Amino acid sequence: MPTTSVPDPSQKHQRREHALMLALVSPALLVILALIVLPVGWLAWQSVYHDGFTLENYRRVFTEDIYWRSFALTFEISLAVTLIALLLGYPVAYLANSVPKGWSILILALVVLPFWTSVLVRAYAWLALLQRTGVINQFLRYLDVISEPLALVHNTFGTVVATVHILLPFMVLPLYATMQKIPADLMQAGASLGASPSLTFFRVFLPLSMPGVLAGCTMVFVLCLGFYITPELLGGGRTVMVSMLVSRNVELYNQFGAASAVAVVLLVSVLAIFFVVSRFISLDRVLGQK
């Protein structure tokens, strides 16, 4: 005689919970789909489709000198900006971590203050400071340090200086967050054992702050790869970074496929960087979630 199966109440409750959870996250999934998946998918499609499937755009990216030079210059500038930002940002973060809380808040406020000003305004400010008739050249000529104005702008130097200033907070803040987690007892223990402050710093504090160094360097390097306004204004057309290459392919040559291919290669490069970094440090820490 056949037997009828009785529905398990626990499974029915679990299915209901899953359906409710899916309904709750569906708006977020739709936003991700509309703002990230579809644009990136359309970008990738444009890079391989022009009257049919083609890899011509990628062939140009990987074989023509102008693309290689632009990518090489972009990575060189990003590396230089990252190293300079680290050299400037580490002492600032260390000072903010060492002084009393009131001074620490003041230092961090000064670091974050530029965020309240537009990147475009800050780039024009550096343009005014560094140009041939700018404040710096005028001051140096007033001191008789130079007889002719220095070429401080419309070149790589001006681009690096302005970019370091704009991206410096992205180096200081992860460093400060990491330093805050280093127990002060360790420094006191090193001193009690007879180690000098410099030895305690290099043998204890510096190794423990390396996750912050890696997180800050990753943030600055990746953000610099896609910078556009600053190199466009401070580079004067001579410093052609990848973002400017994308813009020129669209605005001057009307080649959306070539621009999409460059953008896809840059996106893959950034993902590869994050993948390598994730081997050494959690991406949650790099992105500031922990």
Here the CATH number for the domain that contains residue 223 is 1.10.3720.10
What is the mean pLDDT of the segment spanning 112-116?
82
pTM, two decimals, is 0.84
Q: Give domain status of residue 98, yes or no.
A: yes
Sorting pLDDT into bands at 50, 70 and 90, what band is 10?
confident
Q: Which residue has the higher pLDDT, 65 or 195?
A: 65
- Beta bridge partners, 53, equal 49
Q: Which helix (H) or strand (E) holds 193?
A: none
pLDDT higher than 80, residue 282: no
Q: How many domains does the chain have?
A: 1
Cα 280 from Cα 262, distance rounded (Å): 28
Q: Give domain status of residue 256, yes or no.
A: no
Cα 21 from Cα 24, distance rounded (Å): 5
Q: What residue type is 64 in one-letter code?
A: E
Q: Which residue has the higher pLDDT, 86 or 252?
A: 86
Q: Give domain status of residue 102, yes or no.
A: yes
Q: What is the DSSP string of 44-66?
A: HHHHHBSSSB--HHHHHHHH-HH
pLDDT higher than 80, residue 128: yes
Residues 186-224 as b or e (16 or more Cβ within 10 Å = b): ebeebeeeebeeeebeeebbeeebebbbbbbbbbbbbbb
Q: Give domain status of residue 171, yes or no.
A: yes
Q: Give domain status of residue 37, yes or no.
A: no
Domain, as residue range, for 146: 73-241
Cα–Cα–Cα angle for 197, 202, 203, rounded to 5 degrees:
95
Residue among 280, 258, 276 nearest 268 (CA) = 276
Cα 105 from Cα 108, distance rounded (Å): 5
Q: Give domain status of residue 222, yes or no.
A: yes
How far the first Cα of the chain sits from its last, in Å, is: 61
Q: Give domain status of residue 234, yes or no.
A: yes
Q: Give domain status of residue 10, yes or no.
A: no
Q: Which residue has the higher pLDDT, 238 or 91?
A: 91
Q: Which sign does the torsion angle of CA 122, 105, 92, 280 carry?
A: negative
Cα 143 from Cα 150, distance rounded (Å): 14
Residues 159-177 as b or e (16 or more Cβ within 10 Å = b): bbbbbbbbbbbbbbbbbbb
Q: Which sign does the torsion angle of CA 67, 73, 75, 81 carry?
A: negative
